Structure 1
Amino acid sequence: MVGVDFGTLSGRAVVVSVADGAELGSAVHEYRHGAVEHRLPTGARPGADGPGAGRELPPDWALQIPQDWRDVLAHAVPEALAAAGVAPDQVAGIGTDFTACTVLPTTADGTPLCELDRFADRPHAYPKLWKHHSAQPQADRINALAEELGESWLARYGGKISSEWEYAKGLQLLEEDPEVYAATERWIEAADWIVWELTGAENRNVCTAGYKGIHQDGRRPGPEYLGKLNPEFTGFTSKLDFPLSPLGGRAGGISARAAELTGLPEGTPVSVGNVDAHVTNAAARALEPGQMLAIMGTSTCHIMNSDVLAEVPGMCGVVEDGVVPGLYGYEAGQSGVGDIFAWAVRTALPESYAAEARERGISPHELLTEKAAGQPVGAHGLVALDWHSGNRSVLVDHHLSGLILGLTLDTRPEEIYRALLESTAFGTRTIIEAFEAAGVPVTRFVVSGGLPKNRFLMQVYSDVLRRPIDVADSEQGPALGSAIHAAVAAGVYPDIRAASAAMGSVQRDVYTPDPERADAYDALYREYRELHDHFGRGASDAMHRLRDLRARARGAAGATHATANATTANAITSTATPTEAAK
């Protein structure tokens, strides 16, 4: 089986044995454009180097380029097959997963609007990556109106929907670029779009629809409610309404065009699309009630199944059959984890530390971890808030920001680094406590992703949570999970549970809490919660005010820059010959 995981900066393909899930070969393809967060790229596609190419993006934007995703299929899939020594006709099926909510506007045939010449210089025509957070004002209005009108779906999302999701981003599109909105015939998750690219037929999955598209009990928000947000928003649901397919279902077969792209035989079964976090539960054998899986990378998603339907404040959603048929799938998460550690290396690493890391042949992260691990709990005198990318759970506010309290002239880089590691563990503890307070017990804590390689970090989590930690065996959890779903779609296994039992794997109780460190962390956690509630629950609005000041200052600077460019362009045009002006 082949599983393809589309991440934030790259895509990975793995080839696994259908018998036991053993990895036979893999390949990674880095996106040429990565995450587009500062300005539109030049040369993203033919004809894209017009007047708007390279234009600066506002704060909190994050876009991607569809061709980067196609390139993963064209490069990573054949390379993984070659590494595995597997012939294309030996592949029984292919499955894919994607970051979410990563959503894009297309025509009725699935053509991304950013690939049309007339929209190539329009930021809103591009896919909005999951960490595009500039739709927070729209999310705030969506939440306030839903609460005012008593919309029943709001409780399924912990009382707030996120600025990351389909409706908030769609409303932002309408209000900031009505022309692109009007041309949008399909508003589709990248998880479904890539399946469309593979099969040639549109398909929508129940997972992204439920968690990111406000689809509950067979319905989405109605036109009367949407019209009160904006009269032109009344028909938005028609852009994403499509029959939903169950997870593990067969979306179709590889099309002739996709066969040429990937090298796989035409007709090879393709499974229904899925979210990177949710598909990983099958790889980690974390499908039963109470088994919370934390997929830890640039951000962390917490996914758990339960036979209990409850209202958990600040969760990302609860969806029936959202992870595995027959159970309620809960999602929570932290918008920044690995991204925060990377920020610390970029900003708090002196040259002497960088030189030491180079001399010893280790990464800056390894060096800082090693130095941080040598301290007793609390010796740095610091506590941090893990909100550099906002708060996804339990506050659901992406206009919050990071904070480090207790800095002195003696504070060392490794102490800042350790405080940030600890802050993400505190954020996870806050999430677990919210679930249990709402009557949804967490019986096991399982981790997957890239960050569990850091043994010190995982021990911190075990001590902070006062829980043992299980570790998924595969380092390619999402890709393996996609391959497991593909095995179901291909008819090799009757359902996701059976495929997970055969192809997934996990190590139990790899980390256990130390009582003394856990006691010390309880004291630090109390300080974290005081700051968490003070800045996150309304006692201080300073973070929001600072963000507003930044936006106004950058907006004024951008307007000045645009005026200068326009003046220059007018001067050039007025002095050019007719032929030169036409060029």
Structure 2
Amino acid sequence: MSDEKYVCGIDFGTLSGRAIIVRVSDGEEMGSAVHEYKNAVMDRVLTAHADEPLPPDFALQYPEDYIEVLKIAVPEAIRRSGVKPEDIIGVGTDFTSATMIATDENGWPLCQRQEFADHIHAYVKLWKHHGGQAEADQIIALAKKRGEKWLKRYGDTLSSEFMLPKLLETFHKDRAVYDAMKCYVDGVDWIVWQLTGNYVRSAGATGYKALYQDGTFPSQDFFAELDPEFANAFDKLDAPVGQLGDKAGEITAEAAAWTGLKAGTPVAVGNIDAHVTAPACQAVEDGQMTAILGTSSVFVVSGPELREVPGMFGVVDGGLVKGSWGFEGGQSAVGDIFAWFTQNCVPPSYHDEAAGRGISIHELLTEKAADQEIGQHGLVAIDWHNGNRSVLVDANLSGAIVGQTLTTSPEDQYRALMEATAFGFRVIIEAFAENDVEITEVVAAGGLLKNSFLMQMYSDVTRKPLSLAVSAYAGALGSAIHGAVAAGAYPDVPAAAKAMGKKIPNAYTPSEEAAVEYDKLYAEYKTLHDYFGRGGNDVMYRLKDIKREAAARKHG
């Protein structure tokens, strides 16, 4: 065992962080541990401070929860692995992207300073924070007016999830926080800063979520035209940009004390949690799409040439792998929709039945839904319960189920919601294909892989074979692969992925008979998709406005 070397991968998700210790030679996972964030996602009240009510569309986190992952999950993974810290030669990390942290010049979060403890805009704005939709609209309008070329790289629109809308929202809503912050840091980069003492921006996260294209952010003139006093926002973003697979720094003495890792261990440039999955399932070649299926879904694929796809979430040179253009699309909620439905729309008798049989409510509903013929429920649903990420890029859109009657059952609705997420997936694949981004293979990863009925549905609806990631911790494994490259164990990410990544080829193949039946429902989905999402009826916008007005009246 002494001749073997190992790397540590640390994956920061929406609700928890996980760490694994991986053998460099073959990617064997030696030990792992998971730590759930104490404050989870704060979207109704600010649990980190006096349970203060939050406005609609907020999603905040507390940064100390991330440090607890380093202090608890990493040492536990090392202990379970039986690996000596001196045999761990590299570290890689990934994080939910566009999870933005306002800090001082040393990286200390403002929300952890007493004077800002009750300032909601001082807290971490999670990737799915949509409070800055008005700011996103303002940025888009100005970019179109000025003819900014970078806008095309984001499908000619921007999500309120991006860095700049969140920063402009803070400028508009809390100048004290805005003026006090010296750095506005993506969580992808902040955690590397905590481990190494070096603030290095990731080429991936900075390109996809911070509008960094062709070696620069939007011009200072652009910031100034948003508001003359906003021109200094440019200074809050300034930091060196590191390429994926490169070394960002080394573990500090303080971080070594937290983690049990050896001080001086190389740490890779950070990466986006979804994107880092690609090497874990050997999907880093041009045309291989990685579908990360979890609370939300992200679809990434590399290509040899720049293509500007309307409604995509971004295209970045070297955004996934050096030397290729990386494309991203996604759905803002998938597993979150299923969780919402089971928590709010299923009668107690179903929960009792699931408990009596020793299965989850999701397993029960899937079993009942799978017993139906395609279309038997008479429903079509829209999967916009957390807005639409691709291809409409609009956080103001909301979910819907059409066709309900007095005989509609929970399993009818659950299946319709499953189908809606499959149809949204198909819209994204078709958008790439229509704009000459080739998809040669789809490799799926994430928590939803355990639902085999859903995976077969995805294959049938998209008419694509699905290969599957093997690792239950694909994000952490992908980070470990980057850590191995940063440590010099492999020359580049593709070489490391070939040795350390794993997948099951063509685990699901489409049934043409089922696909034909799903086509009928997909046609109805597309009609509603365009009707509500492309200006046919703005009722979803108006309902959001009414909701915000009511919330404002309630909270004074």
What is the TM-score of this pair, normalised by structure 1? 0.94
Amino acid at match of 1:260: A
Q: Compare CA radii of gyration and give the structure with the larger one.
A: 1
Alignment of 1:31 with 2:37, yes or no, is yes
Alignment of 1:404 with 2:410, yes or no, is no
Amino acid at match of 2:8: V
Amino acid at match of 2:23: S
Indicate which of 8, 17, 39 corresponds to 1:11.
17
- State the 1:207 CA deviation: 0.6
Query: For structure 2, which runs of at least 5 residues remain unmatched after alignment?
Result: 1-6
Name the % identity: 54
Q: Per-residue displacement from partner, 1:395-440 (whole Å, max 9, x unpaired)?
A: 0000100000000111110110000001001001000111111111
> What is the distance in 2 between the residues matched to 1:553 and 1:368?
34
> What is the distance in 2 between the residues matched to 1:201 and 1:317?
26
> What is the distance in 2 between the residues matched to 1:127 and 1:181?
13
Q: How many residues align?
A: 550
- State the 1:93 CA deviation: 1.1
Alignment of 1:306 with 2:303, yes or no, is yes
1:352-367 correspondence runs (5 A)? 352-367=349-364
> What is the distance in 2 between the residues matched to 1:211 and 1:178?
26
Give the aligned partner of residue 214 of structure 1: 211
- State the 1:54 CA deviation: 2.1
Alignment of 1:466 with 2:463, yes or no, is yes
Alignment of 1:227 with 2:224, yes or no, is yes
Indicate which of 186, 198, 217 corresponds to 1:201.
198
Amino acid at match of 2:32: S
- State the 1:198 CA deviation: 0.4
Q: Per-residue displacement from partner, 1:325-383 (whole Å, max 9, x unpaired)?
A: 11000011000000000011012211111111001000000000000000010000000
SS at match of 1:278: coil
Amino acid at match of 1:434: A
> What is the distance in 1 between the residues matched to 2:51 and 2:227?
31
Amino acid at match of 2:501: G
> What is the distance in 1 between the residues matched to 2:250 and 2:185?
20
Give the aligned partner of residue 64 of structure 1: 61
Give the aligned partner of residue 149 of structure 2: 152
Alignment of 1:414 with 2:411, yes or no, is yes
Indicate which of 539, 542, 548 corresponds to 2:539.
542
Q: Is the 8 A contact 2:281 2:501 kept in 1?
A: yes
Amino acid at match of 2:446: G
Q: Is the 8 A contact 2:213 2:316 kept in 1?
A: yes
Indicate which of 380, 383, 391 corresponds to 2:380.
383
> What is the distance in 1 between the residues matched to 2:256 and 2:20?
17
> What is the distance in 2 between the residues matched to 1:414 and 1:174?
45
- State the 1:294 CA deviation: 0.7
Indicate which of 134, 138, 143 corresponds to 1:141.
138
Q: Per-residue displacement from partner, 1:82-130 (whole Å, max 9, x unpaired)?
A: 1111122221111110001101110001110001111111011111000
SS at match of 2:276: helix
SS at match of 1:237: helix
Indicate which of 548, 552, 556 corresponds to 1:555.
552
> What is the distance in 1 between the residues matched to 2:284 and 2:492?
12
- State the 1:530 CA deviation: 0.2
Amino acid at match of 2:156: G
SS at match of 1:401: coil
Give the aligned partner of residue 493 of structure 1: 490
SS at match of 1:58: coil
Give the aligned partner of residue 337 of structure 1: 334
Give the aligned partner of residue 422 of structure 2: 425
> What is the distance in 2 between the residues matched to 1:555 and 1:100?
30
Give the aligned partner of residue 438 of structure 1: 435
Q: Per-residue displacement from partner, 1:285-334 (whole Å, max 9, x unpaired)?
A: 11111111110110001000001211101111000001101100001100
Query: For structure 1, which runs of at least 5 residues remain unmatched after alignment?
Result: 560-583
Give the aligned partner of residue 514 of structure 1: 511
> What is the distance in 2 between the residues matched to 1:168 and 1:80?
37
Q: Is the 8 A contact 2:199 2:240 kept in 1?
A: no
Give the aligned partner of residue 563 of structure 1: none
> What is the distance in 1 between the residues matched to 2:367 and 2:317?
43
- State the 1:231 CA deviation: 1.5
Q: Per-residue displacement from partner, 1:547-570 (whole Å, max 9, x unpaired)?
A: 0000100110011xxxxxxxxxxx
Amino acid at match of 1:144: A
Give the aligned partner of residue 448 of structure 2: 451
> What is the distance in 2 between the residues matched to 1:527 and 1:148?
35
Amino acid at match of 1:524: L
> What is the distance in 2 between the residues matched to 1:252 and 1:215?
22
Amino acid at match of 1:95: G
> What is the distance in 2 between the residues matched to 1:144 and 1:23?
48
> What is the distance in 1 between the residues matched to 2:524 and 2:86?
58
Alignment of 1:88 with 2:85, yes or no, is yes
Alignment of 1:112 with 2:114, yes or no, is no
- State the 1:22 CA deviation: 1.1
Give the aligned partner of residue 570 of structure 1: none
Give the aligned partner of residue 531 of structure 1: 528
SS at match of 1:210: helix
Amino acid at match of 2:41: A
> What is the distance in 2 between the residues matched to 1:132 and 1:274?
20
What is the TM-score of this pair, normalised by structure 2? 0.98
> What is the distance in 2 between the residues matched to 1:354 and 1:278?
36
> What is the distance in 1 between the residues matched to 2:437 and 2:336?
29
- State the 1:67 CA deviation: 0.6
Q: Is the 8 A contact 2:295 2:334 kept in 1?
A: yes
> What is the distance in 2 between the residues matched to 1:492 and 1:508?
26
Q: Is the 8 A contact 2:26 2:500 kept in 1?
A: yes
Which deviates more from structure 2 when the two are superposed, residues 236-245 or residues 324-333? Answer: 236-245
> What is the distance in 1 between the residues matched to 2:509 and 2:202?
37
Amino acid at match of 1:28: V
Amino acid at match of 2:139: I
Give the aligned partner of residue 371 of structure 2: 374
